[in-house]
Amino acid sequence: MRIAMIGTGYVGLVSGACFSEFGTQVVCVDKDADKIARLKRGEMPIFEPGLEQLVAKNVEAGRLSFTTDLGEALEGCDAVFIAVGTPSRRGDGHADLSYVFAAAEEVASRLDHPAVLVTKSTVPVGTGRKVKEIADRVRPGGDIEVASNPEFLREGSAIEDFMRPDRVVIGIDDGGTARETLRALYRPLFLNETPILFTQLETAELIKYAANAFLAVKITFINEIADLCEKVGADVQQVARGIGLDGRIGSKFLHAGPGYGGSCFPKDTLALVRTAQEAAAPVRIVETVVEVNEARKKRMAEKVVAHCGGSVEGLTVAVLGLTFKPNTDDMRDSPSLAIVPALQAGGATVRAYDPEGMAEARRMLDGVVWCEDTYEALEGADCLVLVTEWNVFRNLDLDRMKQLMTQPRMVDLRNIYKPEDMAEAGIDYLSVGRPAAPAGA
């Protein structure tokens, strides 16, 4: 089987590499000539654990290739996946589908044989129907079938998620060969008894948004419970464990922190809200989640200021972790993008370090003192703010930290450390949703 993957961003590159690992011939195509040139040299445009090795292995095996020539990519393909960006549209929050529709039109105009056109990008309900209309208009005859195959990849564990997914969702119309083509493509997972759910186009599209919205609700819920814990003296981690042991609830996504970010949850919740409003079926819970999450990121800076005595004017604040989560270089909608500027506006000098996100952070944050490692960031700091829970930050040398800092003070927004351990070490410590340990504990 041979497929074309349009777009070599996060979804397209990971999906293309994983499909090739299944033994499929994959041609990834992108209009960005520089990106394609880098990929041909084995240079990854994103950081994802294991991706560089997976790409190299399958390129060497002749199953994976890269090109800027769409015609070359389409030759003899059984399916064409659209994996281009769908960012939030300025002004109204809708997903910008211009790249999806442009790709559909170009593919339809260049295909010279029957094939399945699959939307891999996250797209609102009704997009598949519009893609089908484009395909039928540009290439009359109906030999281009359309399918929806949303991705459920978590940045930092995307390869594992693709190879061992909880489920595969495929939206198709009845009849035609799309079902057989995509079943054959996913045959390695089918043999491993991975649930493969075939639905209508609209259902598949909504499953993706509903899943992300539900997870965003869980994150926001536990964050609000964390705020309540701080007021009444409870421990949010124990609360999360207590409710997470209930099989109806589960423990995943019940980790209090500075709010969700990344390439999916912020834009997908907003797009779902807009779609629901237009359909006259508003999703009030998700609307509230969007508002609460945005406000939370801003309040995290206020939390730091309060821990510094009510002002950061003239202080130096060390920020460890800038990406929205560990094991990625993705800065999109990261809490750090709200926290760092707010601290700077309060008069603080910010010294920052992130293991993988520095290059992207430099393009998005101004006036920051960029550091080469953890301990350089701590030099002369009056407060340490831990924003992203990279493993390298989980076992800091507390004695060295105290020697480097002007004041041994920490705000741990990921609850990595135990309050009693920090109190024993003589560090003025504040976490999220947990009572402070008494001095000398």
| Cα–Cα distance, 103 to 111 (Å, whole number) | 12
Cα–Cα distance between 120 and 8 in angstroms, integer?
A: 12
pLDDT number for residue 174: 75
For residue 280, pLDDT over 60 is answered with: yes
Residue ending a domain, choose from 247, 269, 291: 291
Of 199, 219, 251, the residue at which a domain comes to its end is 199
Residue type, 271: A
Report if residue 440 sits inside a domain: no
Task: Please identify which residue in the block is written with the tokens 């929205």.
Answer: 324
The proportion of the chain whose per-residue pLDDT surpasses 70, expressed as a percent, equals 99
Domain that holds residue 162: 2-199
> Side-chain half-sphere of 6: how many Cα atoms within 13 Å?
27
Cα–Cα distances in Å, from 121 out to 36, 117, 145, 191, 327?
20, 12, 17, 25, 22
Q: What is the DSSP string of 289-302?
A: HHHHHHHHHHHHHH
Number of domains, the chain: 3
Same domain, 350 and 421: yes
**Alpha-carbon torsion 224, 161, 121, 263, what sign?**
positive
194 with 327, same domain? no
Q: Give the pLDDT confidence score for residue 285 in this predicted structure.
A: 97
Are 194 and 236 part of one and the same domain? no
Average pLDDT over residues 147-155: 95
Residue 441 domain flag: no
Bridge partners (DSSP) of residue 6 are 29, 82
Q: For residue 320, is it within any domain?
A: yes
In the annotation, is 264 catalytic?
Answer: yes
| Pick from 148, 142, 131, 294: nearest CA to 209 | 148
Both 129 and 270 in a single domain? no
Going by DSSP bridges, is the β-strand pair 369-370/349-353 parallel, antiparallel, or unpaired? parallel
CATH of residue 107's domain is 3.40.50.720
Band of pLDDT at residue 438, cut at 50, 70 and 90: low
41-60 confidence digits (pLDDT tens): 999 999 999 999 999 999 99
Beta bridge partners of 66: 28
Given a contact cutoff of 8 angstroms between Cβ atoms, the answer to whether 120 and 80 are in contact is no
Query: What are the tens digits of pLDDT across the range 398-434?
Result: 999 999 999 999 999 999 999 999 999 999 999 999 9
- Residue 436's pLDDT is what? 78
Could you tell me if 166 and 17 lie in one domain? yes
Average pLDDT over residues 108-121: 95
| Same domain? 219 vs 154 | no
CA distance 430 to 434: 8
The CATH number that applies at residue 223 is 1.10.1040.10
d(CA 144, CA 85): 22
Assess contact for 122 and 210: CB atoms under 8 A: no
Cβ-contact 355, 325 below 8 angstroms: no
> What's residue 193's pLDDT?
87
Last-in-domain residue among 176, 199, 222: 199
In tens, the pLDDT along 298-345 reads: 999 999 999 999 999 999 999 999 999 999 999 999 999 999 999 999
Position 378 confidence tier, pLDDT thresholds 50, 70, 90: very high
Identify the pLDDT of residue 204: 97
Tell whether 222 and 327 lie within a shared domain.
no
Q: Band of the pLDDT at 439, cuts 50, 70, 90?
A: low
Contact 16, 46 (CB under 8 A): no
In a domain, 30, yes or no: yes
Question: In terms of domains, do 303 and 287 share one?
Answer: no
Q: Read out DSSP for 72-127?
A: HHHTT-SEEEE----PBPTTT--B--HHHHHHHHHHHHH--S-EEEEE-S---TTH
Are residue 228 and residue 350 in the same domain, yes or no?
A: no
Is residue 317 in a domain?
yes
User: Is 438 within a domain?
Assistant: no
Question: Average pLDDT of the chain?
Answer: 95
Same domain for 165 and 48, yes or no, is yes
pLDDT, greater one: 370 or 90: 370
Residue 213 lies in a domain: yes
Q: What is the mean pLDDT of residues 168-195?
A: 90
Residue 437 lies in a domain: no
Strand, coil or helix: what is 383?
strand
User: Cβ distance 283 to 213 under 8 Å?
Assistant: yes
- CA-to-CA distance for 375 and 405, rounded, in angstroms? 9
Q: Which residues partner with 384 through β-bridges?
A: 318, 410
343 and 314 in one domain?
yes
pLDDT tops 70 at residue 14: yes
Q: 391: which DSSP letter?
A: G
Residue 163 has pLDDT above 90, yes or no: yes
Same domain, 236 and 163: no
Q: Considering the candidates 264, 308, 371, 383, report the single residue annotated as catalytic.
A: 264
- Determine which helix (DSSP H) or strand (DSSP E) holds 37, and give its type and residue range: helix 33-40
Q: What is the mean pLDDT of residues 186-197?
A: 90
